[in-house]
Amino acid sequence: MSPTIERKRNRTRGVTPVLATPELDKKFRVEADTSNFATGGVLSIRCDDNLWRLVAFISKALNKTERNYEIHDKEMLGVIRCLEA
């Protein structure tokens, strides 16, 4: 193995994974947010240590028509996009 690969492997040992694996017997939480330009959201799972860990995320820009929506409609669009993903 090359020294570069070995150094990279050593740096990742003991590092917590960025995304958690979904387990259907655990509690899930969906959080959505919207700005004037985009919607975004995350799906989290409550792990055994009682912490919420990221499972998935989504982000999408609003098109010209969507940018003209009232704020409550933009927020609902963000929730719908999260649930559809």
- Per-residue pLDDT for 37 more than 70? yes
Chain-centre distance for alpha carbon 84: 14
User: What DSSP state is assigned to residue 64?
Assistant: H
Domain spans of the chain?
A: 25-84
- Looking at per-residue confidence, does 16 or 35 come out higher? 35
- Per-residue pLDDT for 2 more than 90? no
Q: What pLDDT, on the 0 to 100 scale, is given for residue 6?
A: 66
Q: Are 21 and 28 in contact (CB under 8 A)?
A: no
Q: What is the pTM of this model?
A: 0.71
Q: What is the mean pLDDT of residues 33-39?
A: 93
Q: What pLDDT, on the 0 to 100 scale, is given for residue 19?
A: 84
Residues 6+ apart with CB under 8 A from 9: 1
CATH of the domain spanning 25-84: 3.10.20.370
